[in-house]
Amino acid sequence: MKRIDTCMHYGTSYLNARQYDDAIHQFSTALQFVPSHARLRALRSRAYMYQARYDEASREAAYVIRDLKNEDADAYFALGVSQYHLGTDLSTAMEQVRRAAILDPEHSDAKKFLQVCVK
């Protein structure tokens, strides 16, 4: 369990520092031990999204929400932004980002995305 916590800590630090390859590596390492860890998968989906790897981000986020049945704001954010960029149902994409903002009112990236898209 300590290794998983360490990987999550470093992965989150890398994600915040915009070192997405390193973040993905840390999250993926931890997921080898706990493949159904929703938070790790949500964070990895967000890293994929920031790398414009929208297909991977969308699949990962959808897995968190639908299969793991987890209401994670980062998963909803990554799913919505990825769907938006993939050109899928844009109203559904925006609804996913709105859901992220509702789940986490302090989710600054979701708020910024909504402000830009509404204009």
DSSP states of 33-60: T-TT-HHHHHHHHHHHHHTT-HHHHHHH
Cα 14 from chain centroid (whole Å)? 14
Domain boundaries, the chain: 2-118
Q: What is the DSSP letter of 70?
A: -
Domain 2-118: give its CATH superfamily: Tetratricopeptide repeat domain (1.25.40.10)
Mean pLDDT of 82-107: 93
pLDDT higher than 60, residue 119: no
| Mean of per-residue pLDDT scores for the chain | 94
C-alpha 31/C-alpha 82 separation (Å) is 22
pLDDT higher than 90, residue 39: yes
> pLDDT at position 89, please?
82
pLDDT by residue (tens digit) across 23-38? 999 999 999 999 999 9
pTM metric for this prediction: 0.92
Mean pLDDT of 6-13: 96
C-alpha 82/C-alpha 69 separation (Å) is 19
